[in-house]
Amino acid sequence: MPSLTVENYVKTIYQIATAQAVEAATTGQLATALGVSPGTVTSMLKTLDAARLASHRPYEGVALTPAGRVLALRMLRRHRLLELFLLRTLDMTWDEVHDEAEHMEHAVSDLLVDRIDAYLGHPDVDPHGDPIPRGDGETLEAPAEPPMRSLADCSAGSKFRLARVLDQSPGFLRYLTDAGLALGTTGEVEKNPDGAGLMRIRVGDRAMSLALEAAGTLLVIEA
């Protein structure tokens, strides 16, 4: 059985590579994401290479093997289903569920995860809009995502529906809650940019300004 550390590494490699649409993640990116030193990452990558979960090439980065990708998707499936389960059944908020799921994902069995999946009705996305990989025995595949774009890239007059949040830090999620921006919220872009590094949007009868950097972490489907 892979260790907790191994599971965290393969999951993080997958997330970095997927977010940047590349095959490999760099040592520096992993060190930053995991909060460890580059030397610690280099040592762990040798372990992953020996276990045939990843292939590390100096100066090129580390890429998951097919076995590593399966393990990474397995961990993401656990994490995202646990987040949704905690939100729906215990009334936890979307800024609270990440840390709890991070601890629980290493302890639950695949049987329990499959039961949770069935109980929730086989959902496609977690509370932040991230796709939940499907489990079919030997392979794991993420469901196809609908076309999305960054809210920061939407022009004035565009109507949108919030579909995914990339910045899942508790403080930012609480900010979105206070602003009335939950998944599924619809709105319209009134002005982008406004000349001060902000964009102006309207949600219902409420107008608000968003920093373009923050808007860049919100993925929307244009109506």
Domain boundaries, the chain: 4-64, 73-141, 149-222
Tokens of 154: 């939407």
CA distance 94 to 2: 28
From the candidate CATH numbers 3.40.50.300, 3.30.1360.200, 2.30.30.90, 2.60.120.260, the one assigned to the domain spanning 149-222:
2.30.30.90
What would you report as the CA-atom Rg of the chain, rounded to the nearest whole angstrom? Answer: 19
pTM for this one? 0.88
Tens-binned pLDDT, residue by residue, of the chain (223 aa): 679 999 999 999 999 998 888 889 999 999 999 999 999 999 999 999 999 999 988 788 999 999 999 999 999 999 999 999 999 999 999 999 999 999 999 999 999 999 999 999 999 999 999 989 988 755 666 566 678 999 999 999 999 999 999 999 999 999 999 999 999 999 999 999 877 889 999 999 999 999 999 999 999 998 7
CATH 1.10.10.10 correct for 73-141: yes
73-141: same fold as 4-64? Answer: yes
Annotation: CATH topology of 4-64: Arc Repressor Mutant, subunit A (1.10.10)
Q: CB of 149 within 8 A of CB of 162? A: no
